[in-house]
A and B are shown apart, each in its own frame.
Chain A
């Protein structure tokens, strides 16, 4: 008989405690990010798309050589002042395995992985021949709007 009443009282008490927890939550701020309008900034070590700071690149071909999937293709020529000039620097995201080896091996931090995470596109051709020299289009990708 004592157990009967004890059960009722402990049950009621645990119910009140549970209700207090949810009440506290009810008036606390929501943690949701309203995705298309608000965007989270990715962490520093996030590996997004491969991107290039063209002015820093010394055309050493380290990234092209170390890339396990061969998704980077670089060509250069020498101009009249014996300086190396880009012919093309293409990136095939379809092949890329986002390992970050190119980022690690680059002696001048020219090639890096940006914070872009909205990488779905409507056509295959849009990801197979990404022109790394035309980095202007990456600017908004590189830093999605911070919350």
Chain B
């Protein structure tokens, strides 16, 4: 009896999470187009709904109705599985993202005691989907895009994890909920070394999710969209969904680890969490539409010669501060 109840709760939580992911991704696509347009003194989508609010819905319907084209010579199993590998890990990450609490219920599907480790492990799997897409497409550009993505993730994972470790050290726990609770008095970002860690985290997270200025895996001008060149219709939409879900995840992580998560005065915790997360997302969009794409060698050089040494130095200083 208990197991059936648990199962029903699981299904409901899963449905809520999936619904949130879909709605959030559609909102983010619309929001990104609006931010981009206004930065370029345009309006962006204006026709479908109020200021184009239903544009993403129309796009999703269009993508659903499109023909599923399988190009000749693709490695079929790999090619078919790649979009799912790009999305499923990002969905799984939502298990440990603390959304705050509503009416005394903690809005976190399961507060694992190794939460942050679990999230880092799963976000690294996302690149597998991209690499599979590149490999399976039977296309030079896609393969190059996939390879670049793998190289990029391997490089930027190092400073990212080190900055996460800094936050975990100060919180004294790996559980996401407890990390938020550790910031009750003061958000981590207000300490100088943690502010640096936050900066490193945001920069490497931008690289992890392949966003401009680090979007070399899908560089349109060099690789004709890279790993998703051969994909169309719903499979392409899956990559898009994964991309925007990852964007939400890294911003939620940054908010949770450094900006106090759902902590905040007056407003309900959920609202605080969403404000912080979408605020970081907007800043990432702002950066995206400001900076040009970096070259591959610049990208690698930046990760290994700038971010990683600074992250390590920051970790050492933080350790010294803790032990003092």
Contact = CB atoms under 8 A, between A and B. Distances in A.
Whether both chains belong to one complex is answered with yes
A46 B87 CA distance: 53
B291 interface: yes
Among A18, A26, A29, A32, the one with the most B-chain Cβ atoms within 10 Å of its Cβ is A26
Given A8-B306, A25-B38, A30 B290 contact: no
Contact of A26 (B39, B305, B306): B39
A31 B42 contact: yes
A35 to B, nearest CB: 11
B43 interface: yes
B289 interface: yes
A30 to B, nearest CB: 5
Nearest to A29: B41
A19 B213 CA distance: 13
A18 B292 CA distance: 10
A26 B38 contact: yes
Among A8, A15, A31, A32, the one with the most B-chain Cβ atoms within 10 Å of its Cβ is A32
Contact of A22 (B37, B42, B290): B290
Interface residues of A, number: 17
B61 interface: no
A21 B41 contact: no
B42 A18 contact: no
Nearest to B288: A22
Contacts of B291: 15, 18
Interface string A62-99: 00000000000000000000000000000000000000
Interface in A1-36: 4, 8, 15, 18-19, 21-23, 25-32, 34
Given A8-B306, A15-B291, A22 B39 contact: yes
B286 A34 contact: no
A15 B291 CA distance: 8
Contact of B289 (A8, A22, A27, A28): A22
Contacts of A22: 39, 286, 289-290
B43 A26 contact: no
B40 A25 contact: yes
A19 to B, nearest CB: 5
A34 B43 contact: yes
A22 B40 CA distance: 8
B186 interface: no
A30 B41 contact: yes
B35 interface: yes
A26 B35 contact: yes
Interface string A24-58: 01111111101000000000000000000000000
Contact of B286 (A26, A28, A29, A30): A26
A19 B42 contact: no
Given A15-B291, A26-B35, A31 B286 contact: no
Contacts of B289: 22
A17 B250 CA distance: 25
Interface of B: 35, 37-43, 46, 286-287, 289-291, 305-306
Given A4-B305, A22-B289, A28-B41, 19 more contacts: A15-B290, A19-B287, A19-B290, A22-B286, A22-B290, A23-B286, A25-B38, A25-B40, A26-B35, A26-B38, A26-B39, A27-B38, A29-B41, A30-B37, A30-B38, A30-B42, A30-B43, A32-B41, A32-B43
Interface of A: 4, 8, 15, 18-19, 21-23, 25-32, 34
23 contacts: A18-B290, A18-B291, A19-B286, A19-B287, A19-B290, A21-B290, A22-B39, A22-B286, A22-B290, A25-B38, A25-B39, A25-B40, A25-B41, A26-B35, A26-B39, A26-B286, A27-B38, A28-B41, A30-B37, A30-B41, A30-B42, A31-B41, A32-B41
Closest 8 CB pairs of A and B: A22-B290, A18-B290, A22-B39, A30-B43, A32-B43, A26-B38, A32-B42, A31-B41
